[in-house]
Chains A and B, each alone.
Chain A
Amino acid sequence: MKLRKGPATALIVVAILVAAYTLFPFFLVVINSMKKANDIVANPVSLAGASFAQLSQNIQNVVTNSNFNFWAAFGTSAIVTIISLILLALFGGMAAWVICRNKTKWSTVIYMTFIASMIIPFQVVMLALISTFRDVGNFIGIKMLQSIPGIVFAYLGFGGAMTVFILTGFIKGIPYELEEAAAIDGCSPEGTFFRIIFPLLKPVITTVTILNGMWIWNDYLLPSLMLGQNGPVKTLPVAVQAFVGSYVKRWDLILPAALLAILPMIILFIIAQKQIINGMVEGAIK
């Protein structure tokens, strides 16, 4: 498998060109976020007119814009994502453990239902979901639409199947003797789960958290339907969509807003690159 010098150089050139292509849009967002509106239109590719002073000015314009309400949207997205991820990991682990360790007819039926549901596209449930949530909310007196608890509830419902599927595959590989030994020592089943099984799930919980986290943070359709385009509560993608709609072609506002929206993901990726890449691959292979 030795490479001669010629092909190796050619490969490097190709690799660099592709990297330039994939990174070019990010570069454009950054440099144009640093310019005034007329400089963006006049020279979108060059650095002419770009300055850090203008960057902070643009970002300030976006953040203080009352139509955008950046921090409120950012906070909503962060809360929804974090709570959904914690609950999905906890409830998903509990459900997967029960399904895995009880070979009854019921656990098989539940598991098969979860797996079959993964093929259901969101479009086929979304319309009835809104009316169901509205009716349930009216009936029990807790707002399910336009509310953070409602959207977390929906993410538990939609993310549950994949989470259980991946976690079950992992729990199958944990020797059952561990649990038998704990039971002989007088450990209750719930104690066995929380003290022995759950800590062992750490690597696979990292995987599902990455998969679910990328989905929930970037998801647009579900929050836009449940929270409404002009509702009081917005997640970041919904807020960006509404903001762009009201400032068509104002690239000096849209691009810094896009920059702010993608920045958390990019920072996270730089910090936890290895885990994210592994998580994405493992999730797909299972």
Chain B
Amino acid sequence: MTESKSGNKSLSLGLLVVGAAMMGFALVLDVVGIRVGYRGPLLIAGALAVLAGLYFYPTIEHHRGIINFIFLFPLLFTFTVTVIIPMALGIGYSFTDWNGVKVNNYVGLANYTSMFKDPAFIWSIVLTFLFVIVNMILVNVIGFLLALLCSSKIRGTDFYRASYFLPNLIGGIVLGYIWQFIFSNVLIKLTASAFGMRNSLLSNSKTAFIAIIIVYIWQYAGYIMLIYITGLSTVPKDVLEAASIDGADAKTTLFKIKIPMIASTITICTFLTLTSAFKQFDVNMALTNGTGSVKFLGKTLSNGTQMLALNIYNTAISKNNYALGQAKAVLFFIILAAVSIIQVRISNSKEVEM
């Protein structure tokens, strides 16, 4: 390393100077407003040259620091541009009349107060909470029962495990359309011949909500099952043996030993179902797109199956009301953060008691 030090130094300084000059020139072009096509590549090439110059800089004591910087840079940079800056801007925009392109006026809390006067939005909040609670219970119970099934001593558990998990591999949009086909073309035939029911589940707000829950459980229970299987496999064999020697039956073993011993797994699974049900969007969009009439707070609403994430999307993108959509999104974030913190607190205190 030492013999090439002087060579490295001039190389390094050269790269630093040239890179800085390229970046500077590109930025000057941007600021002045000369929209030539090569200014983007020039900027990137300049930045790479500066990084290379830093890398070749001949120093022993600072080399580690330089490497740390270069190693952290790519992810920190993309993270800042895609998460931190939009997050800060988004919170700021929620207090303005932002239209997606520019801000004209600061409006204070007007967006926040106006969304609570909208029954359709309140309905979406209520519906989302209902969806989250129902799914948190059903997905966890079903997932746990399937896990017990797949860790019992029947043959072919590998096959069952794989087929229960399979729906989780498919994206929400595609499976939403597959289920739309099932509800409107297949199920209707079966119910028509069996009970004379000729309407699809999707044609009525209440049954359409049940349909979304069915699809969500179909998609998600297999995944939760996998985590419970892993949790159950950590219950020590000798504890189970001791229990059976002491004459504990299957039910006692389940409730007194297995469930208490996988308390941390239950925490993980409830947390996962909670956040994922809360953010449900794809299936909601593909299956009903939020439509369906419902009577709520004395008004007839047309968004009978629209949950929060879809409501935010439609407010901003379809109705072109960016500032209001952004304010709803901020509220969505606050609710999600609060609910998850409360949930983790409760589960943690339960775990300690056990």
Contact = CB atoms under 8 A, between A and B. Distances in A.
Interface string A37-58: 0001100110000000000000
Interface string B331-353: 01100110010000000000000
Given A19-B159, A189-B64, A28 B186 contact: yes
Most chain B CB inside 10 Å of its own CB: which residue of A23, A110, A127, A280: A127
Given A3-B153, A284-B272, A110 B89 contact: no
Interface stretch (B37-45, B194-202, B205-213, B294-302): B37-45
A91 B74 contact: yes
What is the size category of the interface that chain B forms with chain A?
Answer: 35 or more
Interface stretch (A61-69, A168-176, A216-224): A216-224
B121 to A, nearest CB: 14
Interface string A116-129: 01011111111111
What is the size category of the interface that chain A forms with chain B?
Answer: 35 or more
Interface in B276-313: 278-279, 281-282, 286, 309, 312-313
B272 A190 contact: no
Interface in A94-147: 94-95, 97-99, 102, 110, 113-114, 117, 119-132, 136, 139-142
Contact of A22 (B71, B172, B218, B230): B218
27 contacts: A11-B149, A12-B155, A19-B163, A25-B182, A28-B178, A28-B181, A98-B68, A98-B72, A119-B340, A121-B329, A123-B329, A124-B332, A127-B316, A129-B86, A131-B100, A132-B85, A139-B30, A141-B37, A189-B64, A218-B171, A218-B172, A237-B173, A251-B181, A255-B178, A261-B174, A280-B223, A281-B227
Interface of A: 1, 3, 8, 11-12, 14-15, 18-19, 21-23, 25-26, 28-29, 32, 40-41, 44-45, 87, 91-92, 94-95, 97-99, 102, 110, 113-114, 117, 119-132, 136, 139-142, 153-154, 156-158, 160-161, 163-164, 188-190, 193, 214, 217-221, 225, 237, 240-241, 244, 251, 254-255, 258, 261-262, 265-266, 269, 273, 276-277, 280-281, 284-285
Ranked nearest first, the 8 interchain pairs of A and B with the lowest CB-CB distance are A157-B82, A218-B171, A142-B40, A128-B86, A94-B71, A141-B40, A128-B90, A157-B78
